[in-house]
Amino acid sequence: MLRLIARPLLLAVTLMAGLSACSGGDTSDTAAAKPAGEVPPIIKEREENFEAIGAAFKAIRGQLDADAPDFALIAAKATDINTRAQAIPNHFPASTSTADGFKTEALPAIWEKPEEFKAAAQKLVDESAKLVSLAPGGDKAAVAAQAMAMGGACKGCHDKFRLDDEK
């Protein structure tokens, strides 16, 4: 007797569960997939900013590898890095971390420790400013040492706040 009642009930429950899984499934699937076209412009913007920072730093290192570095060029590239470093804190609005399903290397730590992240960006502002003022002096060793110090500001932030996908 119990069995007879239980079976149709079970069937009904299974059916209902199946139905709601289907209709609910559609929307959550689209939200989770986040096709490339839906990447917020700010993520592209900050990646382009970092790419330009990376290119400027590479140009500086290239000059320092040369016998006669172009110190004016080093100063110009350091100025570019300085301007771009000031923009970093504005490039990280909420819900744009790796935890939000976007293709990004911005770790949630950025939002968990906002003051520390800001300080890490400020460090790059300060170290690049020092390079800007040192470069025109043309002292290769001093400029190279300051370029190293600036590189330390990159690493300091990346170690804590950027996903290392090579690990």
Binding site for ligand HEC (CB under 6 A): 43, 46-47, 50-51, 53-54, 57, 81, 88, 104-106, 117, 120-121, 124, 150, 153-154, 157-158, 161-162
Q: How far is the CB of 69 from ligand HEC (least distance, A)?
A: 18
Using DSSP, state whether 84 is helix, strand or coil: helix
Task: Give the span between the Cα atoms of 95 and 125, in whole angstroms.
Answer: 25
Q: How far is the CB of 79 from ligand HEC (least distance, A)?
A: 13
What DSSP state is assigned to residue 22? Answer: H
Q: How far is the CB of 5 from ligand HEC (least distance, A)?
A: 57
Cβ proximity to ligand HEC: between 71 and 124 the closer is 124
Q: Which residues pair with 162 in a beta bridge?
A: 106
Task: Give the span between the Cα atoms of 109 and 159, in whole angstroms.
Answer: 11
Cβ proximity to ligand HEC: between 6 and 159 the closer is 159
What DSSP state is assigned to residue 83? Answer: H
Cβ proximity to ligand HEC: between 54 and 136 the closer is 54
Task: Give the span between the Cα atoms of 10 and 137, in whole angstroms.
Answer: 83
Cβ proximity to ligand HEC: between 25 and 101 the closer is 101
What DSSP state is assigned to residue 70? Answer: -
